[in-house]
Structure 1
Amino acid sequence: MQIERIKTKLQQLKESDTDLELFGAESHTYTLHAPLSIEEIRAFESENKAKLPEDYVLFLTQMGNGGAGPFYGIFPLQESRINLSDNTGNVTYFNLSKPFPHTEAWNVEEELEELYDRIEDAYEAGDEELEEKLFDEKWDLIGAEEHDYGRLYIADYGCGVYISLIVNGDEKGNIWTDDRTNDAGIYPSVELGNTERIRFLDWYERWLDNSLEELNSSANKN
């Protein structure tokens, strides 16, 4: 069973990387939070009007509610609903009841390129007011509400890049990357070397396999 195989590999990885040398290991220390009950999962689904992918539920109930995982680790379920937060305590949440709108990688490269040309012109002209207005236009361009339908943030890749699990829509169950901060758009996750769509447990196990291979390669060089 995949979940048992994953448990074994995670323990093996924890025992192999005692110095926490791999990327993100110092953040999660290969430690999982306490699992959720199926009743807690169903309450979350009822509250948010969305049914979570089965393999993700299996992870939450049989392994842990976040913790050890790819990059800087897996967010707990409730935290994964948070889209944006600021220092004043304002928080916005993903709308899970509506379907994620994308089935292919999305970006607006041409529009952004044109906008940056205008921003550069405003900067060179010393027009700070126009420059600020154009940056607002940029966020309006890439930050439409519908991009945040039907998904959870499950991991922080770093550099403003977040990993999403789609929970509603045609891409339900698949892992996507939100790299709009760096003008790279939203696209199916490829960070772990996969070339096809990848689901949660397969993604998690691929991280384990990649990490164990990296440690083995390092050991062979020494």
Structure 2
Amino acid sequence: MDATNDASLTGDLEALQAAFPAEWREPPLGLEGVAAWEGENGARLPEPYRTFIAEVANGSSLGPPEDGGLLPLGWLPPGWPDQGDRIPGAAFPLDHAWHWEDEIDSTPDSDQRIADVYNHGSIVLGTDDELSYWLLVLTGTQRGKIWFVADVGASPYPGPEAIGFIEWVQRWQTGAGW
């Protein structure tokens, strides 16, 4: 990593530390814990999320989303729809919004694609209402971006272009567009 990226990551981590007060943070995983999770799941976490959970906090009961906070790495919120096995290292299947509720006919292919949206190429950051979920994409063209998935469809947040983890936290903190 070059000095510019180091400075940018340092600034991002300082902003994240300020956003998540120490008394609300879960203990960080450490670099070995993160590397173990990545090895088990076949995916490398994007920065600054990776360093945040390794060095600052592996989740927080205060923070985005407001209903339950930021989940620890690999956790699923109560009410998560059972769509089969989660495979964080598999290809995330979308690069643009898809509202499956608008489709007239459901096919086995579309049912599998919906399951893939829920389970492939992402981690779950949390839920707003146990009907809709925030994902951080780990693979493909949307790597490092935040997506919003619900029972009606999935879309980049805030749409049509997705933002990254630090911008998502900043939007939550300021209430801008949340």
TM-score bracket, normalised by the shorter chain, equals 0.7 to 0.9
Structure 2 match to 1:69: 63
CA contact (8 A) 1:152 1:164 kept: yes
Name which of 12, 27, 30 aligns with 1:2: 12
1:146 maps to 2:113: no
CA contact (8 A) 2:134 2:146 kept: yes
Matches of 2:77 and 2:111 in 1, distance apart?
A: 20
Matches of 2:172 and 2:156 in 1, distance apart?
A: 16
Output the TM-score relative to the length of structure 1: 0.62
Matches of 2:37 and 2:136 in 1, distance apart?
A: 15
String of CA shifts for 1:33-67, please: whole Å, max 9, x gaps.
11111000001111111111121112202321111
1:187 maps to 2:155: yes
CA contact (8 A) 1:84 1:93 kept: no
CA contact (8 A) 2:89 2:139 kept: yes
- Deviation at 1:32? 1.3
Summarize the Cα distance change of 1:8–1:108 in structure 2 as closer, same or farther, 3 Å threshold: closer
1:78 maps to 2:70: no
Larger radius of gyration: 1
Aligned to 1:59, what secondary structure does the other structure show?
helix
CA contact (8 A) 1:155 1:163 kept: yes
- Deviation at 1:79? 0.9
- Deviation at 1:204? 1.0
CA contact (8 A) 2:136 2:147 kept: yes
Q: Percent identity?
A: 27
CA contact (8 A) 2:96 2:156 kept: yes
- Deviation at 1:9? 4.2
CA contact (8 A) 1:10 1:208 kept: no
CA contact (8 A) 2:122 2:138 kept: yes
- Deviation at 1:173? 0.4
Matches of 1:206 and 1:196 in 2, distance apart?
A: 15
Amino acid at match of 2:144: G
Aligned to 1:158, what secondary structure does the other structure show?
coil
Structure 2 match to 1:39: 32
Structure 1 gaps of 5+ residues are: 15-29, 86-90, 116-136, 212-222
String of CA shifts for 1:73-105, please: whole Å, max 9, x gaps.
1111131499645xxxxx943212211011100
Structure 2 match to 1:99: 91
What RMSD in Å do the two structures reach over aligned CA positions? 3.1
CA contact (8 A) 1:35 1:63 kept: yes
Summarize the Cα distance change of 1:178–1:138 in structure 2 as closer, same or farther, 3 Å threshold: farther
- Deviation at 1:164? 0.6
1:50 maps to 2:43: yes
Matches of 2:31 and 2:123 in 1, distance apart?
A: 19
Matches of 2:135 and 2:108 in 1, distance apart?
A: 20
- Deviation at 1:208? 1.3
Matches of 1:47 and 1:159 in 2, distance apart?
A: 27
- Deviation at 1:140? 7.6
- Deviation at 1:195? 6.7
Q: Is the helix fraction higher in 1 or 2?
A: 1
